[in-house]
C-alpha cells in the first residue's frame, strides 16, 4: 500500500491504480495526476479544513487485483470516496462491490454501459465511447472521405463496446465495415489480424486498443506487414507510452483523445503544472485523475461533510467546471464530459486538430 501524507488529521481518498503489471507505466501517470491535484487542494486549505490524503492500492493490472484493491480500501470506514480505474473491464469487475459499499467512485473507463446499469455511485471523468465512435466515424467519413473501413479491437468490455458503437455510427453515415478483427489483451502476435486487414479492401483503419503495450506491438506489425492505411484510433494511440513503444510506426495516425495539451486554457495550465512537477509531458492517464480529485474535493466541501448521499448530490450539481479533460457538466447518469479531441501524430509529436462536443 502507498499513501500520500502521514498527518493524523487528514481526509482520506482511496485510489485503485496499476502500480505493477503491464500497465504500471500508465499507473505512474495516474498517481502523479492525482497527487498533483491533492497538492493543489491542500495548499488551498484542504477539504473540510483537513489535508487530503491519497490511500493507493495496487490493482496489478488485473480484474481480480482491482477487486482486491478496492475491497481493501472499502474496508476503511474513514474513506468517503474513491478514484477507480481507467480500464472499463476493471470497473465492471469492481462495480458490484461499489454498489454494496455505497460510496462514490470516480472512474475513467469509457464503456457506455458503466453509467447505464443502475449503479448510482459511478461518476465518469472521461467521455464515454458513444462520443468517441461518433468522432471517429464523422472525421473519417466526412473529413478524410473514407467509406470502406477496417476495425481492430480488443475483445474486452472497452474494445467490444467501442467496436459496436463505431459500426453503428459508420452504418448511419453510409460507410461500409469491410472487416472487424478482435484480439485478446496482452497479445504478442498480430500477424493474422494485420494480414486480414491488408486483404480486406479497406480504405481506412480504426482501432479500439486497451493497453499501450498492445498498441505498440500492433502498430509495428501492421507497418511491417505492409498495412499503410490512414489510421484513426481510440485514446491509447496518442498516449505517451504507446508513442514510445511504437516509435515511427504510429507516425501519421489520428487519435480521438479526451486530453490533449492545446485543447483549452485549462488543459494547457495542467500540462505546465505537470511538467513543472515531474519533468515530463502529461497525458490522459494523468489528466482524468487530476480532474477527479479536484472535482471530488470541491464536492465534499460543498456537501459540508462526508455523507455519501450528500457527496453524490454535490457531484451531480457540478456544472461548467473547466478541467484538464474538458468542461464538466454531470448528467443524470454520472457522465461528466460529452466530447473528444481529434489529434494527429506529426512525426512523433501529437498535434491538436479540433474539439468536438455534443449536446445530445
Band (pLDDT 50/70/90 cuts) for residue 4 is: very low
Cβ atoms of residues 291 and 269 within 8 Å: no
pLDDT at 115: 96
Band (pLDDT 50/70/90 cuts) for residue 314 is: very high
Q: Is 6's pLDDT higher than 90?
A: no
pLDDT at 359: 79
pLDDT at 9: 87
Q: Is 250's pLDDT higher than 70?
A: yes
Task: Write out pLDDT tens, residues 191-222.
Answer: 999 999 999 999 999 999 999 999 999 999 99
Instruction: Please give the average per-residue pLDDT across 343-357, as a whole number.
Output: 94
| Model pTM score | 0.89
Angle between helices 191-198 and 212-224 (to 10 degrees): 50
pLDDT at 7: 43
Q: Is the dihedral of CA 76, 82, 86, 91 positive or negative?
A: positive
Task: Write out pLDDT tens, residues 143-156.
Answer: 999 999 999 999 99
Neighbours of 353 (CB within 10 A): 16
**Structural domains of the chain in order of their starting residue, each with its CATH number:** 10-127+264-329 (3.40.50.2300), 129-257+342-357 (3.40.50.2300)
Q: Is 189's pLDDT higher than 50?
A: yes
Task: Write out pLDDT tens, residues 256-266.
Answer: 999 999 999 99
Amino acid at each position: 500500500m502507498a499513501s500520500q501524507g502521514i498527518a493524523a488529521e487528514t481526509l482520506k481518498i482511496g485510489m485503485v491504480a496499476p502500480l505493477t503489471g503491464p500497465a504500471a507505466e500508465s499507473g505512474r501517470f495516474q498517481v502523479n495526476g492525482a497527487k498533483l491535484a491533492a497538492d493543489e487542494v491542500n495548499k488551498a486549505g484542504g477539504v473540510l479544513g483537513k489535508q487530503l490524503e491519497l490511500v493507493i492500492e495496487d490493482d496489478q493490472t488485473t480484474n481480480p487485483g482491482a477487486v482486491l484493491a478496492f475491497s481493501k480500501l472499502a474496508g476503511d470506514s474513514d474513506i468517503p470516496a474513491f478514484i477507480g480505474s481507467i480500464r472499463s473491464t476493471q470497473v465492471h469487475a469492481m462495480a458490484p462491490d461499489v454498489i454494496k459499499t455505497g460510496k462514490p467512485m470516480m472512474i475513467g473507463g469509457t464503456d457506455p454501459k458503466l453509467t447505464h446499469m443502475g449503479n448510482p455511485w459511478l461518476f465518469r471523468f472521461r467521455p464515454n465511447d458513444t462520443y468517441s465512435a461518433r468522432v471517429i466515424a464523422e472525421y473519417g467519413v466526412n473529413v478524410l472521405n473514407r467509406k470502406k473501413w477496417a476495425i481492430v479491437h480488443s475483445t474486452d468490455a472497452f474494445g467490444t463496446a467501442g467496436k459496436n458503437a463505431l459500426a453503428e455510427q459508420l452504418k448511419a453515415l453510409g460507410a461500409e465495415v469491410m472487416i472487424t478483427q478482435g484480439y485478446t489483451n496482452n497479445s504478442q502476435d498480430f500477424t493474422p489480424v494485420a494480414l486480414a486487414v491488408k486483404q480486406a479492401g479497406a480504405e481506412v483503419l480504426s482501432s479500439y486498443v486497451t493497453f499501450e503495450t498492445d498498441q505498440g506491438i500492433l502498430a509495428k506489425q501492421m507497418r511491417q506487414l505492409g498495412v499503410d492505411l490512414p489510421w484513426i484510433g481510440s485514446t491509447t494511440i496518442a498516449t505517451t507510452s504507446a508513442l514510445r513503444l511504437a516509435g515511427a510506426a504510429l507516425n501519421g495516425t489520428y487519435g480521438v483523445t479526451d486530453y490533449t495539451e492545446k485543447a483549452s486554457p485549462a488543459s494547457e495550465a495542467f500540462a505546465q503544472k505537470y511538467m513543472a512537477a515531474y519533468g515530463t509531458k502529461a497525458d490522459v492517464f494523468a489528466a482524468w485523475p487530476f480532474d477527479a480529485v479536484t472535482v471530488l474535493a470541491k464536492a465534499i466541501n460543498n456537501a459540508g461533510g462526508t455523507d455519501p448521499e450528500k457527496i453524490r448530490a454535490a457531484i451531480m450539481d457540478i456544472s461548467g467546471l473547466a478541467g484538464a479533460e474538458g468542461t464538466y457538466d454531470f448528467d443524470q447518469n454520472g457522465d461528466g464530459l460529452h466530447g473528444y479531441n481529434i489529434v494527429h501524430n506529426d512525426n512523433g509529436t501529437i498535434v491538436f486538430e479540433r474539439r468536438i462536443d455534443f449536446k445530445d
